Structure 1
Amino acid sequence: MRALVTAPGNTATIQDIPVPEPGANEIRIKVHSVALNPVDALYTFNPPAPPGRVVGSDIAGTVDKLGPGVTLWRVGDRVASFLQGATSGNERPGGFAEYAVVEADLAIAIPKEVSFDQAATVPLCSLTAAQALFIRLKIKPPFPSPFTYVPESAQSPTILIYSAMTSLGLFVSELSKLLRTSAGNPYRIFATASPKNLDKLLQLGVEKVFDYRDPEWPRKVRAASGGIHYAVDCISEGDSTANISQTYKEGGGTIACIRKSTWSKDNVREDVIGIYSSVWVGLGKDIIYNNELIPADPSWREFTVEFYRWLSSSTDRFPISPNPVRLMPGGLGRIVADGFTLLGSAKVIDRPMDANTHGSEPWMKPISGEKLVYRA
């Protein structure tokens, strides 16, 4: 089969490799669509292991073969899932290929009104958002969870989504509008984004949007909200976490950070803590990530299973909306040259935003509020 595989020179190329066989409690997926995440590009250009690893995380397609013991699925079912790909120091499978194998209970049923392209945007980033809100920030989710929660004491809790028009930010917004206190009150949602995205975020239930380029935005958020109780830093670069900490209520709290070491600890309020965890913990395997061993955590894997079961609960549509799709031309063979070029391998804030930086083709414009999707 054709697959995107890491190659010498810190890149990846299309190679012919054997079709994988599903083991016990696994399914093989005939991949239709793949969605790109910054981590896919980052570890292709900065590989943590020798060449020869299949790249890619988010996939959608049809069940092609059942491994022994699988009863959840039938051949032909439409599913989405995510794999770790070439991001770890230890061997982990990737998904940017014609076929991929995943554990049966870590797949999501695609509702009939959702396309493969849309479904491919969901698995990794929506799980990251759910982990941020419902594990790290300890907010009660709208689905069963292995974690216990202290009931929310505030009558109208406030949550800030920093960089709400990223793929992650959109999923945090989608999940946040479902949040309710034990008394049934909704959370008040605030966000930072470019002013051009104001209407989109207001439609998602955000109470007020602040321009992230305005140096006064932390003061304005605190004034409008009365003080933030929870926040998700969807960029976690430079002074983003420190600025978010200035919006918190008296007594401080916790910020869920999406990256570990790219944000400065300087000027973070003493009563506010930024916490990080890798989405890969949700796969339930020991992982060598960023040169550190992350041990398997069965409770995080159980959380993934419950979350994906909840996403699969409707036959018509997901309970949260997929990301908007930018369908990229050229299939797997153009991912590195086009998609990874747009994503880059450095900080999001360092991406060039000039419309013609990467050429005049419409699919090469800077990324804003969209997920890059290719068809396998």
Structure 2
Amino acid sequence: MQNILDAILAGDTPGEEFANLEIPDHYRAATVHKDEVDMFEGVATKEKDPRKSLHVEDVALPELGPGEAFVAVMASAINYNTVWTSIFEPVSTFGFLERYGKESELGARHNLDYHVVGSDLSGVVLKVGPGVTKWKPGDRVVAHCLSVELEAPDGHNDTMMDPSQRIWGFETNFGGLADVAMVKANQLMPKPEHLTWEEAASPGLVNCTAYRQLVSANGGNMKQGDNVLIWGASGGLGGFATQYALNGGANPVCVVSNEEKAKIVRNMGAEMVINRSEMDFKFWNEDGTQQNPKEWLRLGKAIRELTGGEDIDIVFEHPGRETFGASVFVTRKGGTITTCASTSGYMHEYDNRYLWMNLKKIISSHFANYRESWEANRLIAQGKIHPTLSRSYTLEEVGQAALDVHHNKHQGKVGVLCLAPEEGLGVLDEEKRAAHIDKINLFRGI
């Protein structure tokens, strides 16, 4: 890989030289192993340690198919789906790979006894398969994580509806936590050139997810002046939702867990903040079997005190079970609850009277289609939305990086350097970077 890295670091290597570079038949990657899926059996979720299950090892380069590309990965990032993969919850991802393997000859390449993980990347195109015309070797790119086949009619209005829709690096193999990744060409987007490799890699999954869930007509369809309740407003998803609310003229009501996180969202420009640790909400009783509507009322009162008596138009919901009943309750009549992820539990409970009799809507949202992803990346490139990178690890430290996210010891996004030998590389537009440097560095070191 050294010749490839040298060509990238040179900064002026022409595309034809990249096309002539030899790609090794093996490459370094972060993997989980099929024969270890039971290694945490009987262990509590929080005690499951990704450092034990994530391996950094050499794996074989797959065969490149039509419409696909090999990308030299300079940097990637950690998402909750990598944590879930590494602790084999709620299911082993090898089931996803097995189903993909039965779908076609090309799908069979993914059905291996190891899984290369990771759903973000920034890097340089090394080679493209037959039929790829938009991208060529040498192009500097980021990748979104939607993998689709589009052979059925269902996905041709919204590609998220493709029956073969998968999340790359989670439900497919050959993900981004590696020195080389294999992606479909329609996952690629231009790298924002005022950002470093690790900064450019970090928004991908969460930025696109937040865009669809809050801004897109497929999600919240947010408009100017909307009051938007954002749970975990300084986190991976919430940090982008807060930016989209501010950038789109809405009024974010940011829920955070401590004063340090409150300071982050205020520095982003948010004025209405609810600190959960100060309010000490008890939405559920101690054994988690019954909710307390009086606590929903207390949340609603806190919101009205901030908004001048107005209720919430859109709830940006991703914690799930812990908060969903409260989210439904505090939404205004005719308002919308958009939901994804459910990091505190998938089995939601709410009082349907407050939904049904008040004509509220629950809208499910999952990642984003190519157009939505392109628009989200375009806003990053324009400097209107910024990465939320707090720190970076090396690929060899990927287990620790995943553990930090698993235990919520991070803010924003955690990056991973792959081929990049150090942080701070890859910037081509220094003027734009200088204009936005404070926002780019807002989460750094936190």
- TM-score of Structure 1 vs Structure 2, range by shorter chain: 0.7 to 0.9
Q: Give the match for residue 227 of structure 2.
A: 158
Pair 1:209 & 2:273 matched? yes
Q: Is the 8 A contact 2:331 2:337 kept in 1?
A: no
Q: Is the 8 A contact 1:25 1:104 kept in 2?
A: yes
Q: Is the 8 A contact 1:106 1:308 kept in 2?
A: no
After superposition, the Cα gap between the structure-2 partners of 1:111 and 1:340, relative to the gap in structure 1 and judged at 3 Å, is closer
Q: Is the 8 A contact 1:236 1:262 kept in 2?
A: yes
CA distance in 2, matches of 1:313, 1:198: 24
Q: Is the 8 A contact 1:81 1:106 kept in 2?
A: yes
- Which of 60, 63, 76 is matched with 1:18 structurally? 60
Q: CA deviation at 1:278?
A: 3.0
CA distance in 2, matches of 1:266, 1:156: 27
- Which of 305, 328, 344 is matched with 1:245 structurally? 328
TM-score, length basis structure 2: 0.63
Q: Give the number of the structure whose alpha-carbon radius of gyration is greater.
A: 2
Q: Is the 8 A contact 2:231 2:255 kept in 1?
A: yes
Q: Give the match for residue 94 of structure 2.
A: 49
Structure 2 SS opposite 1:39: helix
Q: CA deviation at 1:37?
A: 0.4
- Which of 355, 361, 367 is matched with 1:270 structurally? 355
Q: CA deviation at 1:65?
A: 1.4
Q: Give the match for residue 36 of structure 2.
A: 9
The unaligned stretches of length 5 or more in structure 1 are: 141-151, 180-185, 283-300, 345-350, 353-365
CA distance in 2, matches of 1:103, 1:319: 27
CA distance in 1, matches of 2:132, 2:384: 25
Q: Is the 8 A contact 2:169 2:176 kept in 1?
A: no
- Which of 76, 87, 93 is matched with 1:34 structurally? 76
Q: Give the match for residue 120 of structure 2.
A: 58
Q: Is the 8 A contact 2:70 2:180 kept in 1?
A: yes
Task: Kindly report which structure 2 residues correspond to 1:192-203, keeping only aligned pairs within 5 A, or say none.
Answer: 192-193=255-256, 194-203=258-267
The superposition leaves residues 3-22 of structure 1 with CA deviations (integer Å, 9 ceiling, x where unpaired) of 12221323232232222344
After superposition, the Cα gap between the structure-2 partners of 1:334 and 1:128, relative to the gap in structure 1 and judged at 3 Å, is same
Q: Is the 8 A contact 2:116 2:174 kept in 1?
A: yes
Equivalences, count: 309
Give the AA of the match of 1:311: N
CA distance in 1, matches of 2:378, 2:228: 26
Structure 1 SS opposite 2:143: strand
Give RMSD over aligned pairs: 2.7
Q: Is the 8 A contact 2:178 2:418 kept in 1?
A: no
Pair 1:139 & 2:221 matched? yes
Range with bigger deviation, 114-123 or 215-224: 215-224
Q: CA deviation at 1:40?
A: 0.6
Q: Give the match for residue 316 of structure 2.
A: 232
Give the AA of the match of 1:6: V
The superposition leaves residues 238-293 of structure 1 with CA deviations (integer Å, 9 ceiling, x where unpaired) of 2x1222223222344333333285353144633445443432xx4xxxxxxxxxxx
After superposition, the Cα gap between the structure-2 partners of 1:37 and 1:190, relative to the gap in structure 1 and judged at 3 Å, is same
Task: State the percentage of identical aligned residues.
Answer: 21
CA distance in 2, matches of 1:192, 1:105: 35
- Which of 308, 311, 322 is matched with 2:377 structurally? 311
Q: Give the match for residue 116 of structure 1.
A: 197
Structure 2 SS opposite 1:246: helix
Structure 2 SS opposite 1:249: strand
After superposition, the Cα gap between the structure-2 partners of 1:324 and 1:12, relative to the gap in structure 1 and judged at 3 Å, is closer
CA distance in 2, matches of 1:277, 1:210: 25
CA distance in 1, matches of 2:416, 2:335: 39
Structure 2 SS opposite 1:229: strand
CA distance in 2, matches of 1:242, 1:45: 28
TM-score, length basis structure 1: 0.73
Q: Is the 8 A contact 2:252 2:272 kept in 1?
A: yes
CA distance in 2, matches of 1:75, 1:162: 41
Pair 1:98 & 2:125 matched? no
Q: Give the match for residue 254 of structure 1.
A: 337
Structure 1 SS opposite 2:243: helix
The unaligned stretches of length 5 or more in structure 2 are: 1-26, 38-52, 96-112, 146-166, 282-297, 420-446
Q: CA deviation at 1:93?
A: 3.7
CA distance in 1, matches of 2:376, 2:219: 20
After superposition, the Cα gap between the structure-2 partners of 1:177 and 1:252, relative to the gap in structure 1 and judged at 3 Å, is closer
- Which of 309, 326, 331 is matched with 2:391 structurally? 326
After superposition, the Cα gap between the structure-2 partners of 1:202 and 1:57, relative to the gap in structure 1 and judged at 3 Å, is same
The superposition leaves residues 126-169 of structure 1 with CA deviations (integer Å, 9 ceiling, x where unpaired) of 111012111453416xxxxxxxxxxx6xx732111111011111
Structure 2 SS opposite 1:262: coil
Q: CA deviation at 1:235?
A: 2.2
CA distance in 2, matches of 1:197, 1:138: 24
Structure 2 SS opposite 1:128: helix
Pair 1:368 & 2:395 matched? no
Give the AA of the match of 1:264: H
